[in-house]
Amino acid sequence: MSISLDDPQRFRPLVAQAHQVAMNMLRPISRRYDKAEHDYPKELDLLAAMIDGLSESDASEGAGAAAVKRSADADDGSVRNGANLASVLSIAEMCWGDVGLLLSMPRQGLGNSAIASVASREQHERFDGLWASMAITEPGTGSDSAGIRTTAVLDGDEYVINGEKIFVTSGARSDAVVVWATLDRDLGRAAIKSFVVPKGTPGMTVERLEHKLGIKASDTATIRFEDCRVPAANLLGSPEIDVKQGFAGAMATFDNTRPLVASMAVGCARASLDLTRELLAQAGVEIDYDRPAITQPAAAAKLLQMEADWEAAYLLVLQAAWLADNGRPNSLEASMAKAKAGRVGSDITLSCVELAGSVGYSESELLEKWARDSKILDIFEGTQQIQLLIVARRVLGLTSAELR
């Protein structure tokens, strides 16, 4: 059986269109909004409207945060290249343009991916068109999502939410926030559920915006919930606490969102590689792909090594997305993709700054910005260390209690 590593032919127009948007719409405003931290990029309103129109016409091939979910397993032996694969391919192209601007895109938040992953059919219809951010991290809980302290207590036909969330991407701009909270702290991981909390709900307060190393175009908020009441129908998925299932229901969201973040790292790293290759050529360093790296200049050998690392990360991203499209378990592959792409993305962008010397370190090019932007992609949606821990558990067949 042969395997093709080329982009699926049906997605090539989508990928080409995303590349044009990245080059002609995102790159030209990239530096401006990096310097104007917390200013909303108004140009994205037009772009978001275009993406909405493409989605409604099916011209986007189902790509986008709201379309990312697990497909039913094919029982006829066929394979699918679906919305997950279309999304990672198009997101990588957009992040070749600018990661922070992609993260600022209306109705393309990680909260939208969470809704797509676990919402019921009725909730999908009710929350259609909503721009949702995702609130997981707390002042005392980062990588260990199971340690969430925010509570949700059922009172009649409403849940009362109390707690504080930090590092909420698009937390001030989005229409709603998908909040992770526990129904019962004594029951541990199994009691953690996610809730859609619309902006303007009494008891929900955006307290501040963070100043950050990178992705400055994207607002990152701290949000407090004090006796914040939301309809019971806004709980995503089942309200039942299944101790045997444990945390699996809530964590299923990450199986779809981690490949998306990995594709962001892949796109940003490729931007750095492309520009560095051009800069090296201008300096008289040509990369010969028909000769061993050891026989070439050190800069060329370094670029060849980075391209090999990038290719490995890219293929892992495609694998994780393809498995989701075909209804197959991909928790291991999603974490492998996130771990590899996150680390490689950060290493490549910083190494490109080094190879380009003063040009890489200055603001005359975007290399230094990409190095700053890429670091967050190795941190949020589960840090490098957490991803490697998950991979080890899956490979060794151990539980979280057995391998910490």
- Cα 177 to Cα 37, 38, 123, 198, 204: the distances in Å are 21, 18, 14, 6, 10
Q: Are 182 and 206 in contact, with CB atoms under 8 Å apart?
A: no
Tokens of 132: 């949702």
Buried b (16+ CB within 10 A) or exposed e, 250-263: bbbbbbbbbbbbbb
Contacts 24+ apart (CB under 8 A), 125-131: 126/233, 127/176, 127/196, 128/66, 129/52, 130/175, 130/176, 130/196, 131/106, 131/107, 131/170, 131/173, 131/174, 131/175, 131/176
Q: Which residues contact 27 (CB under 8 A, 6 or more apart)?
A: 97, 98, 366
354 belongs to the catalytic site: no
Candidates 43, 354, 381, 402; catalytic one: 381
Reduced to 3 states (helix: H, G, I; strand: E, B; else coil), residue 326 is coil
DSSP-derived pairing of the beta strands 158-169 and 220-231: antiparallel
- Measuring CA to CA, which residue among 257, 109, 213, 224 is closest to residue 169? 109
Residues 91/15, Cβ–Cβ less than 8 Å: no
Q: Are 353 and 361 in contact (CB under 8 A)?
A: yes
Which residue is it, tokens 């929350």? 127
Amino acid at 45: D
Query: What 8-state DSSP symbol labels residue 160?
Result: E
Q: How many CA atoms lie within 13 A of 78 on its CB side?
A: 8
| Number of C-beta neighbours around residue 31 at 10 A | 14
Question: What is the token pair recorded at 111?
Answer: 């909260």
For 232, the token pair is 């019971």
Q: Is 335 exposed, middle or buried (0-12, 13-18, 19+ CB in 10 A)?
A: buried
Comparing C-alpha atoms, which of 248, 191, 203 is closest to residue 400? 248
Active-site residues: which are they? 381
